[in-house]
A and B are shown apart, each in its own frame.
Chain A
């Protein structure tokens, strides 16, 4: 149980285009989802927290107009990187919390490797 999927696993896009990444909780309802960014050989940095049906809460320094997060249902959250640039290239990981699991535990997706050329 508590499986989280991400799609796509890898994406390459051209500078200036937008990319959408999906995060799904497959076997539980995720009341809260988190989006992280990880640069090579570095730790995970929390970008934003989203609760189903409400606006995402962004961490300090994260551009909300550039990284659009939508949590329209209890099983799906999306991250859209708008007008992507090479510096946005990174590994994006989502996590989800909810269901009958531990309230402090987050279940992580496999990540999405974004490369902007």
Chain B
């Protein structure tokens, strides 16, 4: 069965510092992986996705993630944090064949300190 684990429910970085949000997946088949961002009282916005093409995926707002099969990881990074990056981030894996359901991780709340 597919599952997603996000290490660290809260991450705090200084403005301008590297952002690293961790995501590990468990999947018996090649996964499709996603990172979403959620601002307070809003829906989810797709940051980036991995669908078995390039292992280094670039997304919006300067974020990128690298798919590492050997480590079953899909960590999200951004070289330099901005105050506007403060939000909740969710990693998700798609499964279910035709239904393509998403399983979400528990989320990581990113705080950016001035």
Contacts and interface: CB of A to CB of B under 8 A. Distances in A.
Interface of A: 4, 6, 32, 34, 41-44, 46, 49, 57, 91, 93, 95, 97, 102-111, 113
Contacts, number: 53
Nearest to A109: B43
A43 B100 contact: no
B90 A44 contact: yes
B104 A97 contact: no
A112 B104 CA distance: 19
A20 to B, nearest CB: 18
B41 A105 contact: no
Contact of A44 (B41, B42, B104, B109): B104
Interface of B: 32, 34, 36, 41-46, 49, 51, 90, 94, 99-107, 109
Chain A's interface: helix, strand, loop or mixed, by majority? strand
Contact of A46 (B42, B45, B102, B105): B102
Contacts of A41: 109
Contact of A43 (B32, B34, B104): B104
B109 to A, nearest CB: 8
Nearest to A94: B43
Contacts of B41: 91, 111, 113
Nearest to B39: A110
Given A34-B101, A44-B104, A108-B45, 13 more contacts: A6-B43, A32-B99, A32-B100, A34-B102, A43-B107, A93-B43, A97-B100, A104-B32, A104-B49, A105-B46, A108-B36, A108-B43, A110-B42
